[in-house]
Structure 1
């Protein structure tokens, strides 16, 4: 038979049940009352509504104990410790000041628990089933333990928890609503939402402040089409973990959040197709951020303006957002390394516009897939180290590095870039502090655009295969490089444009010269190998339709620097012949004549030979056609050779031509020789003048 106690009378509680009596007795001693049967099936709190009255404890009894002024047992601290009870009625401690520990483990609650604006010690609800827990503006001078707890929702808005907040293994079920509302929450210790924690509905941590670690390891947050975790401006003074099977259906929001330690999403799966899987614009991470080793995101990863103090790792990650941005990290700052390698695969655009990486940026073995669009958009990217896109790197879509700056190397060795009919690589105004390698099996289907790029060291396309038929395959217009290599099996199906480029040394191979090559305004100091002019002239003439003087003059200047003056003259002669070929037919006549006589001044010896030939022919002719003296009694002795020389050589007077006269055919021959003499003499003078001027 239940007994009526003075305690119950004072509080108007009526008769106490046996379980309530035991609880009151144990309270003074701080002892635990365990009402379980020992049968796991019968003790399951989810079946607590069916428990017998022997396990029934009224919520008002618990509240009365916590608000009482008991006389503690000697050497003991009063506390409510109850396990396996069916708690009926509403447990309301709103605005109350509770000085004792409250531990209600594996209990079943008929109505919500309210701790709004209360001041309490530790509250332990491990394994219990609760319709709802409201603890808004609560001050907990201890821990809040909700391990394995089941509730429709928990509200901790602006709550202050001095110790630990533990949701390990808990299940919060409020589909379409808010499962956990902890906006403005302050936790003085760690916050655990791990070990199987499951929230159906939104989890809110807006402006929350976690002094130690925040763990979602192994958690599952479910709010399809909505926000699974809202943690804008969250502050975690140590590390935040979302790994070991962490899965979120819905958006994860960390806008403006600050994590002092590491942010780890290793092996996590984020699912929000067509939306943002992770929205962490302006995120600050004081350590490293790991999204690796099985990390998979369906939806956009946003890190706009984020700042990572150490490394950012997407090693082995898979980002899926076809037709959109797989990773949007414009203005990202990583004060260390960034790794997107070893199985990294992105379906959708990777954006790193205006991003800054102080260490290396690695896409080794990565695959970027955005056919017909931009696979990597990294205009104005700054990498204060090397950038690696090699060893199996494959991009379907455009790679953009316009205005990017790579302090050390840019490596595309063995890479494959595919964007048919469009630009495979757009890197105009790119700056590379050391070398840029596109060799060793490098292949590009689409245009490689390096317009105005500056490569301090070597720009190598040795062994590369460029495919962009009937269009430009390689555009190096205005490029500046320490050296340019187009050899060792280099092939280009499409135009190669080197116009306006400036390189220290040009390494090429006659076997690798493309059919369509533009060398206009190309400037180089050295050529390797040192081929003879006859081979280099074929190089200059590759599909050249329009006449350009500079390529010939540049090649001639190179041969002069090497001391090969004859080769230089051969090149300049070819220049004039090319110019002549570009003129109308009637304008070519004098060119042919000048070429035949003195080789445009680069073969002045030819005119002398012509003069000697005419001198010999004239001497023979005039030996058989003696002229009549003008004055029979006053003339020099006639000499055919001197007479011919006097006719041929302008200005010079040997006294022969003026003393004799011819009639008929001989007179016509004399006239022709005078004209030819002037022509050849003029050509010789012009040729000698050009040689002297050049020297």
Structure 2
């Protein structure tokens, strides 16, 4: 309808009168049949706002209409008051605006469309000196085709932006943003909550919001099959505080590179759904407070790569599922937390996560807790955190307050890897269950902290595993072992890789050396003496030298059985163990020496009785020697008792010795009596030298475990 300033309708005269009086032009009671709203021309409103007619006075608080229909496009582009002071406040409450509302580059004292139904609002680089009220706005159009989009790119709002209960919707076949706030500067709060709905993207890239942003209870929908549809884009935005409790979001939510001065709250059942892709992107984001994600539900990936969180990352009781196939039988990376930094604690207690938790090179100043959670990624890594740095404890225990929504145990299905981790506190588990299959085709689960540095203790309590499970502690170091040897390391069939595992002491006072030996023997197929040697050293430092000796004896026995190079080395090593306990058992070498000397005395007496022990003159030795001293003299090469110089193996005239067996046509005879005793004498001397050396090794203690 064309506007003629000289031909105002009664409704427009009503607006002029109420505005002159500083009151609201309320048309609610004037609605026609079926609720039809009285019309007011957009051209009239434009002239009234610009105050071009001196008879149309605009009193504070500005132009205010309720319950009318604005006919035509309301165009206030580039408009401002005299001297650039700005237009008066404009409030179109519960009105209908079927055509475009464009206030781009305009300046208004305040602007309100509260409760109105409209199609499109354009406010590019608009300046509003007060608040912008879009509460309860709703789309307008043919039934089923209603649309409402708002483009506020680069707008500057010196108060709050209120859109509580608002409903924005782009056309189904359009990729237009539902609410565009790119580069906007808002001095107050952005409140898109309490029933706010957007079908299409809420675009806030590079926005600057001095106050908080609330999406509590909002519904944001823009999910696409390729996973690229963005429900909320706040990349590089700067916001004081973000509240998204109880929000329902379908599509990608982006805060990539954003700066949130205080907290990001996605707790109390906030739901994010973007299956097969990223659901919540916080890469490189800087969060000055903490992330509250307790109870959040995320279908898709939570991306935290290189994010900096000044305080806690709280995902207690969160449900995160990242399916990699529509059937949901395999999972992708549920949490991408590589290189993120957390100034406080990372809490995943009671979380239910299907997919991989990836924390490679993450830096967590406080503790890292998985207690009571379910971490499911069978056949792959459920938790992978190589090179993670934890300033406190890393635990798989129920919280002290008993928070355990999924039960009183922690479950890992697949593998958990903390290789090369640096943990300034303890590593501990209680009521932890490992389920297979594990990564890389392993039948059982894998729990690895290989090469980790643990400043506190390894506290092992209540570990449930399958027979094919594996625990890898190779190359790790810790201050102490505080473990339950019966139940803390899984079933006996589960393999322990302990090569290079270094612990300074054992804090379990009830521990028995036989139990520790059984623990050491769970090495699987590859034997290494180092775990036994180290356990013996720890026992020795604790004053348990006898237990240390027993561990070393067992280590040598085991090495003889499984690590001998061949039958000869096996025989020699076994003989060393039997005779001298590998240099660790003085009682054994004493017994061996006593038996050897007794055998020597018996041999001397037999030789002399057969006439095979003769003097240098060829007569029978008889009483020229003392049999025991003679045996000692032959057996100990370093001691000369003068016995061998008196008598030696030979033959007397009346000797009763075997003539031996002839060999061919020569005079040589095999097993001739005197020759046998000469060989026996030489062999006894050789064995005596060997036994003497073994005795020296044993009694010197060179093989005993050292304190250091």
Query: How far, CA to CA, are the matches of 1:426 and 1:248 in structure 2?
Result: 36
Match of 2:338 in 1: 330
Match for residue 654 of structure 1?
646
Deviations 1:215-265 (A, max 9, x none): 1111110112111001100101x211011x211110101110000011101
Q: Is the 8 A contact 1:487 1:508 kept in 2?
A: no
Q: Match for 1:136 among 118, 124, 130?
A: 124
| Aligned with 1:604 (options 586, 593, 608) | 593
Q: 1:406 to 1:511 in 2, by over 3 A?
A: closer
The alignment partner of 1:435 has SS state of: strand
Change (3 A) 1:537 1:196: same
| CA contact 2:358–2:383 (8 Å) conserved in 1 | yes
Matched, 1:231 2:234: yes
> What's the offset of the Cα at 1:442?
4.1
Q: How much does 1:663 deviate?
A: 6.1
The answer on 1:573 being equivalent to 2:580 is yes
Cα deviation per residue 1:553-612 (whole Å; 9 max; x = unaligned)? xxxxxxxxxxxxxxx9967635599xxxxxxxxxxxxxxxxxxxx988982333321221
Aligned residue for 1:520?
529
Shift of 1:628: 13
Task: Identify the residue that residue 84 of structure 1 maps to in structure 2.
Answer: 67
Higher strand proportion, which one? Answer: 1
Looking at structure 1, the residues matched to 588 and 547 of structure 2 have their Cα atoms a distance apart, in angstroms, of: 23
Structure 1 residues 84 and 485, CA, compared in 2 at 3 Å: closer, same or farther?
A: same
Partner deviation per Cα, 1:181-235 (whole Å, 9 max, x = no partner): 1111000111110111100111100100001111111111011211100110010
Structure 1 gaps, min length 5: 1-8, 491-504, 550-567, 578-597
1:432 to 430, 440, 454: 454
Contact kept in structure 2, 1:461 and 1:487, CA below 8 Å: no
Task: Provide the secondary structure at the position in 2 that maps to 1:433.
Answer: strand
Q: Aligned with 2:598: secondary structure?
A: helix
Alpha-carbon shift at residue 339 of structure 1 (Å): 0.8
**How far apart are 1:506 and its partner, in Å?**
9.4
Structure 1 segment 344-359 matched on structure 2, within 5 A: 344-359=351-366
478-487 or 417-426, larger mean C-alpha shift: 478-487
Look up the SS of the partner of 2:29 in the other structure: coil
List per-residue Cα deviations over 1:444-464 (Å, max 9, x = no partner): 552111221112221635213
Cα pair distance change 1:660/1:422, threshold 3 Å:
closer
C-alpha distance in structure 2 between counterparts of 1:239 and 1:441, whole Å: 41
- Give the deviation of 1:316 after TM superposition: 1.0
SS in 1 for 2:256: coil
1:655 positional shift: 7.4
Alpha-carbon contact 2:614-2:650 (below 8 Å) kept:
no
Q: Over residues 298-330 of structure 1, what are the superposed CA-to-partner deviations in whole Å (9 max), with x where a residue is unaligned?
A: 111101100110111111110011321111111
**CA distance, structure 2, for counterparts of residue 301 and residue 511 of structure 1:** 39
Contact in 1 for aligned 2:337/2:358 (Cα 8 Å): yes
1:163 aligns with 2:186: no
Q: Is the 8 A contact 2:649 2:677 kept in 1?
A: no
Distance in 2 between residues matched to 1:532 and 1:88, nearest whole Å: 96
TM-score (norm 2): 0.78
Cα pair 1:438 1:460 within 8 Å, conserved:
yes
Taking structure 1 as the reference length, the TM-score comes to 0.79
1:279 corresponding residue in structure 2: 281
Equivalent positions of 1:311-322 (< 5 A) are 311-322=312-323
Aligned residue number for residue 269 of structure 1: 271
Q: Is the 8 A contact 1:182 1:204 kept in 2?
A: yes
Q: Specify the SS of the correspondent of 2:195.
A: coil
Deviations 1:514-549 (A, max 9, x none): 596835233231446955978975675459643459
2:436 is the alignment partner of 1:451: no
**1:36 maps to which residue?**
28
* C-alpha separation in 1, matches of 2:523 and 2:339: 42
Q: Is the 2:529–2:559 Cα contact (8 Å) retained in structure 1?
A: no
Quick check: 1:486–1:509 contact (8 Å CA) kept in 2? no
Aligned partner of 2:378 in structure 1 is: 371
**What is the CA–CA distance in structure 1 between the aligned matches of 2:377 and 2:353, rounded to whole Å?**
8
Q: What is the DSSP-based 3-state SS (H/G/I as helix, E as strand, rest coil) of the residue aligned with 1:415?
A: strand
Distance in 2 separating the partners of 1:409 and 1:607: 54
SS at match of 2:7: coil
Tell me by how many angstroms 1:691 deviates: 2.6
1:360 maps to what in 2?
Answer: 367
Deviations 1:260-308 (A, max 9, x none): 0111011210011111110110111101111113x10111110110011
**Post-superposition offset of 1:133:** 0.4
Post-superposition shift, 1:662?
4.6
Aligned to 1:307: 308
Map 1:410-489 onto structure 2 (within 5 A).
410-420=427-437, 421-422=443-444, 424-443=446-465, 446-458=469-481, 460=483, 462=485, 463-464=487-488, 466=490, 473-483=495-505
2:578–2:588: 8 Å Cα contact kept in structure 1? no
- Aligned 8 A contact 1:516 1:544 in 2: no
Query: Which runs of no fewer than 5 residues in structure 2 stay unpaired?
Result: 81-85, 140-147, 324-330, 399-408, 438-442, 566-574, 635-642, 660-671, 701-708
